[in-house]
Structure 1
Amino acid sequence: MVSSPYYHCLTLSLLLVPPLIFGTYLLVAFPSPPETLSLHPSLASLPRHAKSWQIYPEDFYEGGSYVSFPQGRMRYWLLGPENGKKVVLIHGLSIPAIVWKDIAPRLVARGYRVLLYDLYGRGYSDAPETTYEPGLFTIQLALLMQHLNWDKASIVGSSMGGGIAAAFTAHFPHLVDEKVILIASAGLIENCDISRTAKFMSSPLVQSVASSMPFRKYLQRLTNTTSITGDDEVDPMIEIVRVQSAHLPGYNAALSSSLRDGPIRGQSAMFSSSGFEGKKVLLIHGTKDVTVHPKYAPRIIELLPDETKKSAKLVTIEDGGHEIVLTHAEIVTDEMIQFLEAKH
């Protein structure tokens, strides 16, 4: 009869060999090459008879061009005199650069050199299949300024663009001129202030459904039933959001990721960064903003470095909602110009 210790050794060997083999494999295995980044198309992919070309054609602004970066091709426009003081306008979560249609021309008329562009996942810029975290947007602007040979510029951000402006100032302060303007700025929104609908619609499960072809076909039928011609009740800004949602496969995922991972929330460290030292900051906020509550504007000021905080200015627009760049464009532009031209 075989002794009991033999059985113990055999059993132990049988238990140890598989983990040893698996562990050895993990140590010597070499990963597969990284997959090529998937890019979803922009509005440029839609036929010229599509509704988007009526509302927001790629030549909506003069001086438009495309440039390709590692995260995809993007669209930008340069307006105004070449020797004008440089200003960058960063749009928000869902509406691309068309949102600046009433402000950019006023700045140009004042002699400014204005840079507008579509963020990744919106308008005429590609939608990379990636996480839409703050770094994606800050690097996008840094590469664009390098491409244009812009050493510095005043930075203006609206809504989520304000969060991007804060992150950009924190990480690339040498590219930011003395002035930063934050309009209805996101960046500090708390979870309780994000609607249940937005949370539900940005969930991975719902996004999987929203990205499916049957659902997109349904949205396309809905958008094709409305006409922007001769119908004063149709808001072009709402329509361009609908068109992107229905026709651009990467748009809904970009919005969802931006809400969950982007510069909408959690930017306290950016606002308090040393990158804001030596900068002048103007905040403009509507008193009836239900998307980004007016309470966040003074909180942003409190986070700024001490010297910056002392000179920061908050302008409130009575009865102004979230889209004050559209509804109160003249007031907003006047405040911007007064701030940009002030001798501090």
Structure 2
Amino acid sequence: MVLPSVPSSLLGAPAGIPRSVLLTATVAAAACLSIPLILQSKGVKSQLSIPSPRIKTLPVISEKESLALPYPLDALPGGRDVETPYGSIRVYEWGPEDGEKVLFVHGISTPCISLGDLGHEFVGKGCRVMLFDLFGRGYSDAPSDLVYDARLYVTQFLLVLASSKLSWTNFNLVGYSLGGGLCVLFSRYFPHQINSLILVASCGLIRPYHVGWKSWLLYSSGLLPDFLVKVLVRRRIRPEIAQPPGAAGGTDIASAEVKKYLPSGDGDSNGGARFDSTSISKFRPDTTVSSVVRWQVDHHDGFVTAFLSTIRNAPIYAPQRDWKALNKILEGRREDRRESALAREAASASGLHAGKILMILGEDDPIVVKEETIEDAHNALGADGVEISVLPGGHEIHITASSRIADAVEAFWRKYPA
């Protein structure tokens, strides 16, 4: 491990970062550098995959206790555990086997239970749906020797698709927040498999100025050793248990957390007080988003590792080359459809048939800012490449507006049939 010099590490640092913070961080890094070397000399080796709570927690608690968890193993229908070289992946699949297939991809901090209501809405419309926990979230193991980047996540998509007894060679892709950026990434490499691409409060176009100096110091600077960063990140992202709206005796704890950890202009995974206090599902009204995230921090030993590596390496902030590549694909689809009826049929069979994607945004989303995202999406994909729907709510619209989202997607499908 090599300690970067202060001048080189300051390149790209946010303006206004206190000099005392940089000095303290540098001293701490230098003091801690020898620890990894000592561990290596003693022959301490890390495991390749960190087990999920399915292995660590569930076997030591009662059935009653497991059902009372913020995220029980049977929270969604059709659950299965898929063993892979990267660790086990938790997958849920249900709905009519001959229905339109829809794969859902969740965000950075909440596992796929947060998309459960949306899944039920689509099944109610006759679809076959599949949801899964990203590596290091929920009941999926966390690879500990790999970077959580494009290669790992695309591989996970393929492993999940291959785990079904049905053929998932043509399907619709719905991604929320981080999942949206990952869906753009997957569509770039496998456009022929995608019938339609739906992005809900998607990352990938978030402007870098939203990263404040605290986030920069933890996630990007390289000044602090990783083990210390993990301790600090764990404290940073572990929320208090926010009460559901209208709960007796509820207080705005999440708002206090935002003020404590996220000064103005410095945000990462926190969607705000309303996001934290949102019920994770209409079927679990007393379980909040914050309680699920807290459970992961406390009981999934790989969650912080996955979160940190994802922030550093996944397609979250602009600019993203994936969007430029997607734009060329969409332009090609539109050109094919214009040429002739025969070409239109071929284009439909090749996926992303309309040459257009649907983006659904929250009117008051503090993370994926509506005005900025609309402007940047049009710049990246052109006005002909994206249709935008704005719904009331914030970063929690995938839960609170699940019915409206399903209706908007259905209308999009009718408008641009395959």
TM-score of the alignment, normalized to the shorter chain, above 0.5: yes
CA RMSD for the aligned pairs? 3.1
In the other structure, the counterpart of 1:286 is 362
Provide Cα deviations, 1:199-233, integer angstroms capped at 9, x if missing partner: 45546748524756x9989x99x98x9999x9664
- Return the match for 2:102 from 72, 79, 87: 87
Whole-Å Cα distance in 2 between the matches of residues 215 and 281 of structure 1? 34
Pair 1:302 & 2:382 matched: no
Q: TM-score, normalised by structure 1?
A: 0.77
Q: Which runs of 4+ in 1 moved over 6 A?
A: 214-217, 225-228
Shift of 1:342: 3.0
Q: Are the equivalent residues in 1 in contact too, given 2:360–2:390 (CA < 8 A)?
A: yes
- The residue type paired with residue 105 of structure 1 is H
- The residue type paired with residue 317 of structure 1 is L
Whole-Å Cα distance in 2 between the matches of residues 124 and 72 of structure 1? 11
Q: Which piece of structure 1 moves more, 293-302 or 181-190?
A: 293-302
In the other structure, the counterpart of 2:136 is 121
- The residue type paired with residue 46 of structure 1 is T
Map 1:67-106 onto structure 2 (within 5 A).
67-106=82-121
Map 1:270-285 onto structure 2 (within 5 A).
270-273=322-325, 274-276=328-330, 277-278=332-333, 279=352, 280-285=356-361
Q: Are the equivalent residues in 2 in contact too, given 1:185–1:292 (CA < 8 A)?
A: yes
In the other structure, the counterpart of 1:150 is 168
Per the alignment, do residues 53 and 174 of structure 1 end up closer, same or farther by CA in structure 2, a change over 3 Å counting?
farther
- The residue type paired with residue 389 of structure 2 is V
In the other structure, the counterpart of 1:61 is 76
In the other structure, the counterpart of 1:136 is 152
In the other structure, the counterpart of 1:269 is 321
Aligned residues: 300
Partner SS state of residue 202, structure 2: coil
Per the alignment, do residues 200 and 328 of structure 1 end up closer, same or farther by CA in structure 2, a change over 3 Å counting?
farther
Partner SS state of residue 310, structure 1: coil
Shift of 1:257: 1.1
Pair 1:185 & 2:202 matched: yes
In the other structure, the counterpart of 2:397 is 324
Per the alignment, do residues 327 and 196 of structure 1 end up closer, same or farther by CA in structure 2, a change over 3 Å counting?
farther
Whole-Å Cα distance in 2 between the matches of residues 342 and 64 of structure 1? 33
In the other structure, the counterpart of 2:227 is 208
Partner SS state of residue 322, structure 2: helix
Pair 1:313 & 2:329 matched: no
Partner SS state of residue 55, structure 1: coil
Unpaired runs of 5+ in structure 2?
A: 1-44, 251-276, 278-286, 334-351
Q: TM-score, normalised by structure 2?
A: 0.64
Unpaired runs of 5+ in structure 1?
A: 1-34
Q: Are the equivalent residues in 1 in contact too, given 2:173–2:194 (CA < 8 A)?
A: yes
Provide Cα deviations, 1:67-115, integer angstroms capped at 9, x if missing partner: 1222211011111100000001100110000111221111101100001
Per the alignment, do residues 206 and 51 of structure 1 end up closer, same or farther by CA in structure 2, a change over 3 Å counting?
farther
Shift of 1:53: 5.1
Shift of 1:183: 0.7
Map 1:151-170 onto structure 2 (within 5 A).
151-170=169-188
Whole-Å Cα distance in 1 between the matches of residues 109 and 397 of structure 2? 15
In the other structure, the counterpart of 2:57 is 46
Identity of aligned residues (%): 30
- The residue type paired with residue 335 of structure 1 is A
